[in-house]
Amino acid sequence: MKNVLDVMSLQQHVESSKAQAQALKPIDYRKLNMPGIVPLYIFECATKLKMKPLTAACAAIVYHRFFKEVKPTDYDEFLIAASSLYLAGKIKDDDCVKIRDVINVAYCTLNRDSAPLDLNDEYWSMRDAIVQAELLITRTLGFDLNIDLAHKYLLYYMKTLQDWVGAEVWNSVPIAKAAASYLQDFHHSPNILKYKPTHVAIGCLSLAMQTYGIQVPLTDEAEEGSMWYKPLVKDFTREQQWEIIENVIEVYKNEALLKAA
């Protein structure tokens, strides 16, 4: 059945991911041509830049939106990724994102054994490329840089559910942490663009609740009209719920393949 998913194995994967990452060698991004490689690069750079989670998610959305409009083979994906990070810092007013830091982090993450660039010709060439790519992205997106992220909706839904299921049940398992992790990780996939931010938030929260076996009181999952999310998002369907859950799980499968390559 479509809705029978091994959420327990997903939980174990998420909880052990940090330990696994420490044991694995750093990824050589230029040598891998696999789905999800550039978004993984974006989030690694975002971590090194100490970006806020919203800024990192915004950078991923900018990147996905750009390549939804163009052919990936026509552009250097890693240059667009670096420019997306820089542009996201402006969109979200993230003071931590300085262009020199973006240049050095982007360069050193692609070239693992290299030192940060001095103020030489290579540095200025990369700086100009990132700035020009920023203008290209902006034009390609029709100057529409209004990025509506799902995070704010997730916070609202979690607060509502916390009151609904009760503090004792809510605090017994890390539902909020899991839902936030699923949401952030879903930004690795371009499939996130297929859904409304409200739907993405509900899907990630639903996956977190299923991971820990939480049942919302006075709801019946056997009937579409009695699902717990209906009072929150009326236009969300069970079909969309399982599509989003499957897409999130696919992100973790791709990540495992990338790190094993």
Looking at residue 18, its pLDDT comes to 46
pLDDT average, residue stretch 105-118? 89
Per the CB < 8 A criterion, the answer to whether 61 and 132 are in contact is no
Q: Is the pLDDT of residue 30 over 90?
A: no
The amino acid at residue 72 is P
Distances (CA, A) of 54 to 60, 65, 74: 10, 16, 28
Structure tokens given for 10: 């997903």
Name the DSSP class of 225: G
Q: Which band of pLDDT confidence, cut at 50, 70 and 90, is reported for residue 22?
A: very low
- Predicted structure pTM score: 0.87
Band of pLDDT at residue 2, cut at 50, 70 and 90:
very low
Model pLDDT for residues 208-227, shown as the tens digit of each residue? 988 998 888 766 666 666 77
Helix (H) or strand (E) holding 94: none
Query: Among positive and negative, which fits the CA dihedral 38, 39, 40, 45?
Result: positive
What span, in angstroms and rounded, lies between the C-alpha atoms of 122 and 126? 6
pLDDT at 225: 60
Residue 154: name the closest of 129, 124, 128, 187 by CA. 187
**E-assigned strand segments in 15-167:** none
> Which residues 6+ apart lie within 8 Å of 106 measured at CB?
45, 78, 81, 82, 85, 126, 130
Give 151-260's CATH code, choosing from 1.10.472.10, 3.30.465.10, 3.40.640.10, 1.10.10.60: 1.10.472.10
Spatial separation of the C-alpha atoms in residues 162 and 165, rounded to whole Å:
6
What element of type H or E holds 233?
Answer: none
Q: For CATH 1.10.472.10, list the domain ranges present in the chain.
A: 32-140, 151-260
**Contact 215/241 with Cβ under 8 angstroms?**
no
Stretch among 7-21, 114-128, 235-249 having the lowest mean pLDDT: 7-21
Least confident of 19-28, 64-73, 191-200: 19-28
CATH superfamily entry for domain 32-140: Cyclin-like (1.10.472.10)
